[in-house]
Amino acid sequence: MLINQFLLLGAVLFCIGVYGVIARKNAVMVLMSIELILNAVNLNLLAFAMNMNGEGSADGHVFALYVLAIAAAEVGVGLGLVLLIYRNKRSISLDELSEMKG
Partner 1 sequence: MLAAETGWFLEHAYLIPVVPAVAFALIIFFGKRMPMKGSEIGVASMVTSLVLAAGTAYQWIERVDFFSPAGDNASALGGFGRAFRLNAEGATFVQPVINKIVWWQSGGMEFGLGQHIDGLAVMALLLVALISTLVQIYSLEYLRGDRRYTHFFAALTLFSAGMLAMVLAENMVQLILGWEIMGLCSFMLIGHWWEDAANSRSALKAFFTVRVGDIGLLVGTGVVFFAASAYATRHGSNGFSIQSINEWALSGTGSHTVLLWGSVALFIAAIGKSAQFPLHTWLPDAMAGPTPVSSLLHSSTMVVAGVFLVARLYPLFHTGLDINVAGQHFNLIAVIGGITIIIAAALAFVQNDIKKVLAYSTVSQLGYMMMGLGVGAWTPAMFHLFTHAFFKCCLFLCAGSVSHSGSHHSFDMKKDMGGLARKMPITTTCWILSTAALCGVPYFSGFFSKDEIIDNARNNNYQVFFVVGLVGAFMTTAYMTRATYLIFFGKARGAAAGGHAETLATADAHDSHARVPAMANAASDSHDAHDAHDAHAGPHESPVLITGPLVVLASLAVVAGYINAPVWPFHTERFAEWVANSSGVAFPILDHAQFEWVNAVPSIMLVLGGFVVSLFVCRSIYGEARSPLRGITTRVAPLRWVHTFLVNKYYLDALYENVIVRGLVGPIANGAYWVNQNVLDRIVNQAGIGARKTGGWVYRNIDQRVVDGAVNGSGAVTRGSGTALRPVQSGKVNQYGALLFGAAAIGALVLVIVNT
How many whole angstroms separate alpha carbon 68 and alpha carbon 97?
28
In angstroms, give the least distance from the CB of 99 to partner 1: 6
Q: SS3 of 41, please?
A: helix
Cβ atoms of 52 and 40 closer than 8 Å: no
In the complex with partner 1, the residue whose CB is nearer, 50 or 82, is 82
Site for partner 1 in 10-49 (CB under 8 A): 18, 21-25, 30
Q: How far apart are the first and last CA of the chain?
A: 49
In angstroms, give the least distance from the CB of 96 to partner 1: 10
- Kindly list the residues in this chain that would bind partner 1 in the complex (CB under 8 A): 18, 21-25, 30, 94-95, 97-102
